[in-house]
Amino acid sequence: MSNLIFGLSFLVFVSLLYLVYLSRDKKRLKRSVNKGIKTLIKNSIRLFSVFLIIGILKEFLSKEAVGNFLLNFQGFKGILSGFVGAVMMGPPASGYPIGKYLLENGASYSLVSSFLASWVMLGIVAVSMEFKYLGLKFTLVRNIFTIFSIIAISLIIGAIL
Amino acid sequence: MKKFKSFLKEYPLETIILTVAIILMILNPSKTLFGLSYALKTYLNLLPIIISVAFLMGFISEFLNKKTVSELIGRETGMKGVMIGAIFGTLMIGPSFIFYPLFKELREKGAGVNVIATTIGAWSIKLQWLPFAIPFLGLKFILLFDALILIFAILSGFVVSLFVKS
C-alpha cells in the first residue's frame, strides 16, 4: 500500500516538473516524452522478469525451513550463516517474523542482525541489476564492502545487546 | 524473426527467465501460477514508481545539465553530496533496483559514485517498515540496526570512490 501512495505522489511530482519546465518548449517536451516511453518499456520488461523469478523462488523457500536451518549455527558461524538472508525474496517485512522466531528460539542478536542485514543490503536480484546498470567494478567494490559492513554491524550489535 | 533476434540480444537474461517459467508452468502449474500472480501484483503495485522513474529520466536527460548535477551531487562535493544521498536513500520507498537506471543516467550527467553508493546503502534502512519492525524485534534493536546501516552506507561512499574512477 505504501508503495502505491508513494508512487502516486512521485507521479504527481514528475508531472509537475514536466508542466513547469517543459510545457513551453515543444521540442524538448517531445524528446523527454519519447525517452520516457522507451525507458518505460525497457524497464518494464526487465523488472517484470525480476518479479517473476522472485515470485517463483518465493514459492520454494519456506520461512520455517530457513529459520530452522539458521538455528543450527552459533557464534561467528551464526553470523556467516546469516548471509542466506541474501537469497531471501520479498519485502523485509516478511523477514521480521523470522527474526523474532530466531530470537525466541535462542539465536543471538548477531545472527539475527546478519540475517536481516543480508536480506536488505545484499539481495541477489539487486546485485544483477546493479551490475547491468552501474558496471562490474562499482558492483564488486560496493558489495564486498557491504559484506564487511554486515559482519561489523552484527559484531557491534552482539556486543551491545 | 529479425525482431525476435534483436529482442534476444537486448534481453538475454529475461528470455532465459521466461523460458524457465514456461517449462515450470508445464511441470508445476500451481506453484508457477502463484509466482506469476505475485509478479503481476508487484508490478502493478510499483507501476506508478516505474512510470515516474522512466519519465524522470527523460526529464533529466533533456533538462539537467552536467554542471548542475556535478555541483549538487558530483564526486567533488564530498560530504555534502554524500549526505544528500544518505537522506534521499533513507526516505525512498520501493526496491532500490527500480532506481538503478536513474542512477546510471545521473552518473552520466556527473553524479559522483560516492553519492550513488551511499544512496544505495542508505536504501536498506526502509523507514516505512519501522512500524512493522518494532513490534517484532523491539525498538532498541531496530534503532541500533538502522543507525549502523546509515553509518556504513556513508562509509561505503568513501570506499567506493577510492576504487572506482567516475
**What secondary structure does DSSP assign to B34-100, as a single string?**
HHHHHHHHHHHHHHHHHHHHHHHHHHHHHH--HHHHHHHH-GGGTHHHHHHHHHHHHH--S-GGGGH
- For residue A56, give every residue at least 6 positions away whose Cβ sits within 8 Å of its Cβ, in sequence order, or none: B20, B21, B24, B31, B32, B35
- Both B109 and B153 in one domain: the answer is yes
In a domain, B54, yes or no: no
Chunk chain A into consecutive blocks of 10 residues (it has 161) and report each block's average pLDDT, rounded to whole numbers. Answer: 85 92 84 92 89 80 79 88 81 81 90 93 86 94 96 95 86
Q: Which residues of A touch B49 (CB under 8 A)?
A: 3, 6-7, 10
Which of B95, B107, B75, B86 has its CA nearest to residue B152?
B86
**What is the torsional sign of CA B62, B68, B69, B75?**
positive
B132: pLDDT confidence band, cut at 50, 70 and 90? confident
* Dist CA A42 CA A40 (whole Å): 6
Which member of A45, A91, A112 has the closest CB to residue B11? A45
- Both B107 and B147 in one domain: the answer is yes
Q: What is the CB-side half-sphere exposure of residue A90 using CA atoms within 13 A?
A: 18
- Both B96 and B161 in one domain: the answer is yes
Q: pLDDT tens-digit profile of B143-155? A: 999 999 999 999 9
* Dist CA B3 CA B15 (whole Å): 14
* Dist CA B62 CA B64 (whole Å): 6
Considering chain B, what percentage of its residues have pLDDT values greater than 90?
52
pLDDT of residue A85: 85
pLDDT of residue A144: 96
Assigned C-alpha cell, A111: 545472527
Which of A43, A9, A128 has its CA nearest to residue B93?
A9
**Is pLDDT at B140 greater than 90 in this prediction?**
yes
pLDDT of residue B139: 93
- For residue A28, give every residue at least 6 positions away whose Cβ sits within 8 Å of its Cβ, in sequence order, or none: A22, B62, B63
Burial class (CB in 10 A: 0-12, 13-18, 19+), B84: middle
In a domain, B29, yes or no: yes
Provide the residue ranges of all domains of chain A, joining segments of one domain with +.
24-60, 62-161
Interface of A with B in 5-24 (CB under 8 A): 6-8, 10-11, 13-14, 17-18, 21-22
- Both B116 and B155 in one domain: the answer is yes
A36–B43 CB contact, under 8 Å? no
pLDDT of residue B157: 95
- Both B83 and B158 in one domain: the answer is yes
- Both B44 and B68 in one domain: the answer is no
Assigned C-alpha cell, A124: 541477489
How many domains is chain B built from? 2
| Residues A137, B22 contacting (CB under 8 angstroms) | no
pTM, rounded to two decimals: 0.86
A96–B132 CB contact, under 8 Å? yes
Interface confidence (ipTM) of the complex: 0.86
Determine the structural domain holding residue B10 and report its residue range.
1-48
Q: Does A104 touch chain B (CB under 8 A)?
A: no
In a domain, B58, yes or no: no
pLDDT of residue A59: 75
Q: Is A74 left (phi over 0), alpha (psi -120 to 50) or beta?
A: beta
* Dist CA B140 CA B145 (whole Å): 8
- Both B78 and B143 in one domain: the answer is yes
Task: Name the phi and psi angles at A23, rounded to 5.
Answer: -65, -25
Interface of A with B in 56-75 (CB under 8 A): 56-60
User: For B31-58, what is the mean pLDDT?
Assistant: 91
- For residue B124, give every residue at least 6 positions away whose Cβ sits within 8 Å of its Cβ, in sequence order, or none: A117, A120, A121, B96, B149, B153
In a domain, B25, yes or no: yes
